[in-house]
A and B are shown apart, each in its own frame.
Chain A
C-alpha cells in the first residue's frame, strides 16, 4: 500500500487553477521531496491531503484512506508541520505539545518531545516570544507526537539556521529508521537532495517529473561551477585542467579561474591547479540551483519567465587553507 496516492487531482480557486491533474504516489517508508517554486501548488496539494482544502476533482488517498471522508482517522496517524501556521502566542511550548498529546490521546511527556527538537529550555515560555526557528521546532515536536506513520512537512527548514536544518534532517532520518514515511516540500534543493529517496517537481499546478535527485541532475545535464582565485595563473594551467575527468569548460580571467564540471572530484581540480604551481587563495562553488534545474525541466514551455533565477545562487565559500590542509575530505561537502 502506498502512503500517499494522488490521482488526477485538480483544484480551482475561483477561476484560478491551482492544481491541474496532479498524479503522485509516495511509497511506504520512503523520504519523498516535493519540489517547486513558490506558488507552484505544493502547499495546496498538502492542504488537500489534510482536508484543509477540498479538491475540485480527483482522488486523494492517505494511508489507504480517503482524504475527505476519513480525514480524522488520517490525522490520528499523521504528523504535520503545516505551512503558514501561527502558534498560540500566549500558550507555552509545553502547552502546545500537551495539547497535541491530548488531541491524539497518546500520553507522551511533552518535555521529551521538546528535548528531541532542542527547545526544552524554553518549554515554559509563551510561544509568541519564540524565534521563527524555535516555532518551527515547536511545531515539529507537535508533529512527532504519537510516532506517526506518515510525516507531512511543508517547508520544514523555514527559519532554521544551517545547524537547525541539519538537526531537522537528523530527526527526519531517525523517524525514517523507526519506519515512518516522510513527505516534505521545499524550494531549496540542498535540503531535499541530502535526504530524499525520490522527488517530484511541481510547476504551475502540474507534476513535471518524478525521479531520484541523481536522475534529476543527469536528466537535466546539471553542472557545478568552481570559482577559484589563485595568486597567479601558471601558463600550463588552462591546458592541464581540462584533463581532469568531468570538466566541461575552463575560463581564466586575471587571477580567477572558473571551471564548469558535471560529475567529478572538485578537490582533484584544486590539486591539479596547485600541481601546475598556483596557490589557491579563495574558492567557491555554485551548484546548479533548483531554479536552474527546474528551468531545465520546464524549458519546453514557451514562457521564459524567471530568467533572473540563475542569479539566485547557492554559493559556498571555503577557506583555501582548510581545503588544502584536509586532503581526504571533499572540501565542498557543505555545498552539496
Chain B
C-alpha cells in the first residue's frame, strides 16, 4: 500500500504552507477564548463558579468546535484531488506506482493530519488553561486493577478522539467531493453546499418529514414526537458528534431510549460517514479520465 507515501507527501506540502500554522493558531485562540468565556459567563449570570470543571468546559467547546472543524475541513480539503487534476500535478502523482485508491486514501490521511494537529493542540492548550486557571476536575473515578483512578483524563482523551473522528468525517466528505470533479471551483461549491445542508438546514429536515408524515399538517402534540424524528436529526454529522459528546461528557442517559439514540450509536453513524463519501468519491475518481 503506497497511500502512506502520498499522505506523507501531502502532509509535508501542508507543513510548508501557512495553512497548517494559521489553523493551529486559530484553534488555540478559539479554545483559549472559549475557556475564558466559560469562566466568565456563570459569574455574569450569577451562577456558582465552583461548579466549573474541565469536562463542563469541553461541553461548552463542543458545539462551536463543529463550526471550526467543518469550515477548516472545507478550506484544507476541497482542492485535495480536484486541485491535482486541475493543475496537472495529478499526472506526476499517478505516473508513480500509486493506485487511485492509494491517492484517495493518502489524501484523506494527509489532510486529516493537517486538521487533527490543530485540534489536538488546541484541546491540549485548553487543558493547560484549565490547570492555570484553577478550574476543577470532576471527582468520578475508574477502578483499574484495584486502583481508583480519576475518570476525567479518560473522558478528556475520549473527547479528543471523538473530535478527531468528527474531523475525519468532514475530511472524508470534502476529499470525496473533491474526487468527483477536476474543477476546484466546482469542488468548493459542492463542499459549501453540503455544509449548508448538514450544518444550517438539517434542523428543517426532520421537521419537514414530520409535517409530511402527519398528512401535511403540523402535529398537535409537538412534545411527543416519535423517536425516528430524533434519529433523522442524528444523521447529520455534527448532530451525531454533539450527541456522542453529550453522552460522553454527561455520563448516562435519562429514561428508556432506543439503542439508535444512544451515544455509541452516534459514533457508529460518524463511522459510516467516514466510509460513504470517500467511497462514492473513489468510485467516480477510479473511472475518470484525468
Which A residues contact B (CB, under 8 angstroms)?
13, 47, 50-54, 71-73, 75-76, 80, 82-88, 90-91, 95, 99-100, 102-104, 126, 139, 142-143
- Taking a contact as CB atoms under 8 Å apart, the answer to whether A72 and B99 are in contact is yes
Tell me the bound Cα distance from A83 to B90 in angstroms: 11
- Which residues of chain A are near B13, meaning CB under 8 Å? 88, 90-91
- Taking a contact as CB atoms under 8 Å apart, the answer to whether B89 and A104 are in contact is no
CB closest chain-A residue, reference B287: A54
- Which residues of chain A are near B8, meaning CB under 8 Å? 99, 102
Contact with B88, one of A53, A86, A100, A142 (Cβ below 8 angstroms):
A86
Assess whether B91 is interfacial by the CB under 8 Å rule. yes
- Which residues of chain A are near B99, meaning CB under 8 Å? 71-72
- Taking a contact as CB atoms under 8 Å apart, the answer to whether B16 and A91 are in contact is yes
Contact with B91, one of A52, A54, A73, A91 (Cβ below 8 angstroms):
A52
Contact with A139, one of B12, B16, B92, B289 (Cβ below 8 angstroms):
B92
- Taking a contact as CB atoms under 8 Å apart, the answer to whether B96 and A87 are in contact is no
* Chain B stretch 58-115: residues in CB contact (< 8 A) with chain A: 87-89, 91-92, 94-99
Contact with B17, one of A47, A73, A90 (Cβ below 8 angstroms):
A90
Number of A-B contacts (CB under 8 A): 78
- Taking a contact as CB atoms under 8 Å apart, the answer to whether A53 and B9 are in contact is no
- Taking a contact as CB atoms under 8 Å apart, the answer to whether B89 and A80 are in contact is no
- Taking a contact as CB atoms under 8 Å apart, the answer to whether B89 and A102 are in contact is no
- Taking a contact as CB atoms under 8 Å apart, the answer to whether B12 and A95 are in contact is yes
Tell me the bound Cα distance from A100 to B92 in angstroms: 9
Task: Write 9 A-B pairs (CB below 8 A) sorted by A numbering.
Answer: A50-B94, A52-B91, A53-B290, A82-B91, A84-B91, A85-B88, A86-B92, A88-B13, A104-B96
0/1 interface trace, chain B 1-22, chain A, CB 8 Å (1 if under): 0100110110011001100000
Taking the nearest CB of chain B, how far is it from the CB of A138, in angstroms? Answer: 10
- Which residues of chain B are near A142, meaning CB under 8 Å? 92, 95-96
Tell me the bound Cα distance from A193 to B89 in angstroms: 30
- Taking a contact as CB atoms under 8 Å apart, the answer to whether B289 and A53 are in contact is yes
Taking the nearest CB of chain B, how far is it from the CB of A12, in angstroms? Answer: 11
- Taking a contact as CB atoms under 8 Å apart, the answer to whether B98 and A52 are in contact is no
- Taking a contact as CB atoms under 8 Å apart, the answer to whether B97 and A85 are in contact is no
- Taking a contact as CB atoms under 8 Å apart, the answer to whether B96 and A85 are in contact is no
Taking the nearest CB of chain B, how far is it from the CB of A177, in angstroms? Answer: 23
Known A72-B99, A82-B92; further 15 A-B contacts with Cβ < 8 A: A47-B289, A52-B94, A52-B290, A54-B289, A72-B97, A83-B91, A85-B92, A86-B87, A86-B92, A90-B16, A90-B17, A91-B16, A103-B2, A103-B96, A142-B95
- Which residues of chain B are near A85, meaning CB under 8 Å? 88-89, 91-92, 95
